[in-house]
């Protein structure tokens, strides 16, 4: 009997419960024997779809209000929260797990929780019944040698348990150089040499109530401040696969470097066209190449040629298995962890100039309204005429005489590209697509790899060309696969939750703006509840998200209104936060931000596994073959969404770490800043032009005792009534850098008779 059928059968029983003998009796007539049933029940229980209340008694988890399954999010103080995988009637938000119950689990574990209490406002408490899946096979941290034994203190403060290292276990050398990224191997000859070093630990025993986890050291990374160790820590903290297994490397190296006549059979030859790639100056792999022409009927011909990774990476091979495990390439400021081996990512699959490369091509006819008048998809072969950069294309289109002479045969084609890109952009604007033009930080390094500053990443018309062409190709492929009636992977972006829209509206109102949705019918009331640490507080609780209707066009209009205004940076950021995260799914629910009914990822198969899957699906449709089953695609979509989050978290963390290191040498310096958020404990500020954030504690604010007024999101002086609000410009002085927590602490500077002085608050800052 299939798992789904077994779940459905138990769900139909009273209270969605059954015992083993009952199931044997009821299902035996349908051909299910006892052994098959035992196996299925064990599998479903291990997965969390069923709960075994006591021996031989099962309940369907999804039908139970007493139990919940999800990821455990730990706090450094020992308590945690369950992020449930399904909504539970009567519960608002995450389920609080007290410290004594969380002792047997670790941050990120998938756990089964019994709901102990639900308060009238929807707040819930629970206790962990079972750990279904461990998320921490290894832990990276600092080795400490003391009187009470040997321990590793995790770098991730959410892993609250220290890892015990039993005496007598052998410890490794620094490992093979190819297993490490740019780090000089430390020399360790005794256990005493390890004290204070960063190590990676394999867990042998997981924590239980009253006992610590136990592990053994499998890697020695070096001292915390050694060059490159920060990258190594982040890679291991987020469990990023970072070296390729021998069988993957061997398979990649065995692929011929020359395209044979057999490989060209059935492919369209585009090698005579002046096709180009356009990427950043530091790019090493080139997924996409483009070509634009004007057709006799006046329409545009757009060709988007994408590296045919699916030709080289076949399903079920060692390379494919590893690519699926990684899900995506991870890009750090000064290096990358690629999804595919070097032989493919920067050589055979990369659309390098002046060499033949296999592609999967989208050929689109586009009218002057930006609408698709015709489309075709075909395997092909190209020979890129030039490897162009965003900077050179931008300068060429701006009239740079030297570049226009250098690329004289391509000038007219680039101008046509600009014309088409602007046409496509106008079409997206008409339908309500949102364009957030948020500045992105660019970390700068010197020749020795030390960070020298943070600047705004450039964005110009050349970026717009590629963006518009890739969006058009992605939409066209998604539409083609959907019309073919096969299961596919879509890139979806769901409508925002009502509460997040409401929160944004409250902030926007202080600046005199609104999304234009009118009154939001979400009931709220105040009650005495508990903070996350268990202390009591009075707070507002949302009861319902009913009746909010929001469209992307409303966001789009507000983006246009604030363009160029001082508050643009803050409101754009807050608008972005009010939206859900895009993800991969086999269910097509559209893309809210793009205002697209159908969308997928097709254009980056070198660095994204979903794109590779979409290539395989498109090839199957073109060849009239059976595509992958929907169940497998569903699993891949979920895995890749998680891999994407993991990569984004790792990239973000390392950038923040680099920023903190950069600021550690600037204690005592003052900066212009913008208040980007307010809270009961102070003002969050962002330094102008540096994209670096920090906190001004509320008890250091000058001249008065201040309190946070949540209803207006302001910090207000009790006597002077002086206000600090989101969007205010201030001058701050860097007081403290906490390298462990990667936090910066500032104080306000005030002007006094032409000089600057630190603002004195009720409690003066004490340096550690």
Q: According to the per-residue pLDDT averaged within each range, which of 45-54, 180-189, 739-748 is highest?
A: 739-748
Residues of the chain with pLDDT > 70: what percent? 90
Confidence of residue 530 (pLDDT cuts 50, 70, 90): very low
Whether 319 has a pLDDT exceeding 70, the answer reads yes
Confidence of residue 31 (pLDDT cuts 50, 70, 90): low
**The predicted structure's pLDDT at residue 86:** 80
In the chain, how many H helices and how many E strands?
A: 19, 37
Question: What CATH number matches the domain at 666-758, 2.40.50.140, 3.40.50.970, 3.10.20.340, 3.40.50.300?
Answer: 2.40.50.140
Q: Does domain 65-133 have CATH number 2.40.50.140?
A: yes
Whether 760 has a pLDDT exceeding 60, the answer reads no
Confidence of residue 521 (pLDDT cuts 50, 70, 90): very low
Whether 164 has a pLDDT exceeding 80, the answer reads yes
**The predicted structure's pLDDT at residue 768:** 35
Query: C-alpha distances in angstroms, 544 versus 87, 521, 525, 711?
Result: 13, 8, 11, 19
Confidence of residue 466 (pLDDT cuts 50, 70, 90): very high
194-198, 243-247, 689-693: least confidently modelled range = 689-693
Confidence of residue 535 (pLDDT cuts 50, 70, 90): very low
* Cβ–Cβ < 8 Å for 744, 737: yes
**The predicted structure's pLDDT at residue 93:** 85
Lookup: tokens for 11:
């769900």
User: Which residues pair with residue 377 across a beta bridge?
Assistant: 362
Judge whether 3-62 and 65-133 match in fold: no
Lookup: tokens for 57:
């008694």
129-143, 316-330, 421-435, 540-554: least confidently modelled range = 540-554
Confidence of residue 767 (pLDDT cuts 50, 70, 90): very low
- 329-385 pLDDT, tens per residue? 999 988 899 999 999 999 999 999 999 999 999 999 999 999 999 999 999 999 999
**The predicted structure's pLDDT at residue 443:** 85
User: Which residues pair with residue 358 across a beta bridge?
Assistant: 381
**The predicted structure's pLDDT at residue 156:** 92
Domain spans of the chain, in order of start? 3-62, 65-133, 138-237, 246-491+596-644, 495-579, 666-758
- 733-752 pLDDT, tens per residue? 999 999 878 899 999 987 54
- Among 643, 651, 649, 706, CA closest to 680: 706
**Average pLDDT over every residue of 541-546:** 40
How far is it, in rounded angstroms, from Cα 173 to Cα 126?
44
- 85-123 pLDDT, tens per residue? 888 878 888 999 999 999 999 999 999 898 988 888 788
Whether 79 has a pLDDT exceeding 80, the answer reads yes
> Which runs of consecutive H residues, i.e. helices, occur in 147-241?
229-237
Q: What is the separation of C-alpha 377 from the centre of its chain, rounded to a whole number of angstroms?
A: 30
- Does residue 418 or residue 692 have the better pLDDT? 418
- Among 509, 513, 506, 649, CA closest to 581: 649
Architecture of domain 138-237: Beta Barrel (2.40)
Q: Which residues contact 606 (CB under 8 A, 6 or more apart)?
A: 285, 287, 307, 309, 329, 339, 340, 344, 345, 349, 350
Q: What is the separation of C-alpha 294 from the centre of its chain, rounded to a whole number of angstroms?
A: 39
| Widest pairwise Cα distance in the chain | 93
**The predicted structure's pLDDT at residue 171:** 65
**The predicted structure's pLDDT at residue 454:** 80
Whether 216 has a pLDDT exceeding 50, the answer reads yes
**Average pLDDT over every residue of 458-483:** 96
Whether 481 has a pLDDT exceeding 80, the answer reads yes
Confidence of residue 455 (pLDDT cuts 50, 70, 90): confident
Q: Does domain 3-62 have CATH number 1.10.10?
A: yes
End-to-end CA distance of the chain: 64
List, edge to edge, every strand of the sheet that includes 17-19: 17-19, 57-60, 50-54
Task: Produce one character per residue of 708-737: b if its CB has 16 or more CB atoms within 10 Å, e if not.
Answer: beeeebbbbbeeeeeebbbbbebbbbbbbb
**The predicted structure's pLDDT at residue 759:** 57
Helix, strand, or coil (residue 401): helix
**The predicted structure's pLDDT at residue 186:** 65
- Does residue 27 or residue 393 have the better pLDDT? 393
Average of per-residue pLDDT values in the chain: 88
* Cβ–Cβ < 8 Å for 134, 161: no
Q: How many CB atoms lie within 10 A of CB 137?
A: 9
- Does residue 506 or residue 215 have the better pLDDT? 215
Whether 163 has a pLDDT exceeding 70, the answer reads yes
């Amino acid at each position: 009997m299939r798992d789904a059928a077994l779940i459905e059968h138990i769900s139909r029983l009273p209270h969605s419960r059954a015992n083993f003998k009952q199931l044997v009796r009821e299902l035996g007539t349908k051909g299910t024997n006892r052994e098959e049933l035992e196996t299925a029940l064990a599998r479903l229980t291990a997965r969390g779809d069923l709960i075994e209340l006591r021996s031989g008694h099962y309940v369907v988890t999804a039908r139970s209000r007493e139990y919940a399954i999800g990821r455990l999010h730990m706090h450094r103080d020992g308590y945690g929260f369950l992020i449930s995988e399904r909504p539970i009637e009567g519960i608002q938000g995450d389920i609080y797990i007290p410290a004594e119950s969380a002792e047997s689990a670790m941050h990120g574990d998938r756990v089964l929780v019994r709901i102990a209490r639900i308060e009238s406002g929807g707040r819930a408490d629970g206790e962990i019944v079972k750990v279904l899946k461990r998320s921490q096979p290894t832990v990276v941290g600092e080795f400490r040698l003391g009187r009470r034994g040997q321990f590793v203190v995790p770098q991730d403060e959410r892993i609250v348990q220290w890892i015990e290292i039993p005496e007598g276990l052998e410890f490794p050398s620094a490992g093979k150089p190819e297993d490490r990224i740019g780090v000089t191997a430390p020399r360790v000859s005794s256990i005493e040499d390890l004290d204070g070093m960063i190590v990676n630990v394999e867990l042998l025993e997981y924590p239980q109530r009253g006992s610590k986890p136990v592990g053994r050291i499998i890697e020695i990374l070096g001292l915390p401040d050694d060059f490159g160790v920060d990258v190594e820590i982040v890679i291991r903290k987020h469990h990023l696969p970072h070296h390729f297994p021998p069988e993957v490397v061997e398979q990649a190296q065995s692929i011929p470097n020359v395209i044979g006549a057999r490989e060209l059979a059935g492919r369209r030859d585009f090698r005579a066209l002046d096709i180009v790639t356009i990427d950043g100056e530091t790019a090493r792999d080139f997924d996409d190449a483009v070509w634009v022409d004007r057709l006799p009927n006046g329409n545009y011909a757009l060709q988007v040629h994408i590296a045919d990774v699916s030709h080289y990476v076949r399903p079920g091979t060692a390379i494919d298995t590893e690519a699926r495990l990684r899900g995506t390439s991870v890009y750090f400021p000064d290096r990358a962890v690629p999804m595919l081996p070097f032989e493919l990512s920067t050589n055979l699959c990369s659309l390098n100039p002046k060499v033949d490369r296999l592609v999967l091509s989208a050929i689109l006819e586009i009218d002057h309204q930006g609408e698709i008048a015709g489309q075709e998809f075909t395997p092909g072969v190209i020979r890129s005429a030039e490897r162009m950069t965003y900077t050179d294309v931008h300068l060429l289109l701006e009239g740079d005489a030297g570049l226009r002479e250098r690329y004289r045969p391509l000038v007219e084609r680039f101008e046509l590209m600009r014309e088409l890109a602007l046409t496509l952009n106008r079409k997206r604007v008409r339908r309500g697509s949102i364009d957030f033009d948020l500045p992105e930080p660019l970390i700068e390094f010197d020749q020795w790899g030390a960070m020298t500053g943070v600047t705004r990443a450039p964005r110009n018309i050349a970026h717009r060309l590629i963006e518009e062409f890739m969006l058009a190709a992605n939409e066209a492929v998604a539409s083609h696969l959907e019309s073919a009636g096969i299961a596919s992977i879509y890139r979806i972006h769901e409508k925002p939750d009502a509460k997040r829209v409401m929160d944004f509206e409250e902030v926007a109102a202080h600046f005199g703006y609104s999304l234009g949705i009118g009154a939001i019918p979400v009931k709220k009331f105040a009650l005495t509840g508990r903070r996350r640490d268990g202390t009591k507080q009075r707070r507002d609780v949302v009861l319902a998200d009913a009746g909010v209707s929001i469209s992307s066009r409303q966001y789009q209009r507000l983006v246009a209104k604030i363009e160029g205004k001082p508050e643009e940076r803050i409101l754009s950021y807050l608008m972005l936060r009010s939206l859900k995260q895009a993800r991969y799914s086999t269910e097509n629910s559209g893309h809210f931000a793009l205002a697209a009914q159908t969308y997928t990822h097709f254009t980056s198969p070198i660095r994204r596994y979903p794109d590779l899957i979409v290539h395989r699906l498109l090839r199957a449709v073109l060849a009239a073959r059976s595509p992958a089953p929907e169940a497998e695609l569903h699993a891949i979509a979920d895995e890749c969404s998680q891999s994407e989050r993991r990569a984004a978290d790792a990239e973000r963390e390392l950038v923040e770490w680099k920023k903190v290191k950069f600021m550690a040498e600037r204690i005592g310096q003052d900066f212009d800043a913008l208040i980007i958020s307010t809270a009961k404990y102070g003002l969050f500020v962002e330094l102008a032009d540096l994209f670096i954030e920090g906190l001004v504690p509320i008890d250091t604010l000058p001249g008065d005792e201040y309190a946070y007024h949540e209803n207006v999101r302001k910090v207000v002086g009790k006597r002077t009534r002086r206000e600090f609000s989101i969007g205010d410009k201030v001058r701050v002085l860097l007081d403290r850098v906490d390298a462990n927590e990667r936090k910066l602490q500032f104080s306000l500077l005030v002007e006094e008779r032409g000089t600057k002085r630190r603002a004195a608050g009720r409690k003066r800052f004490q340096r550690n």
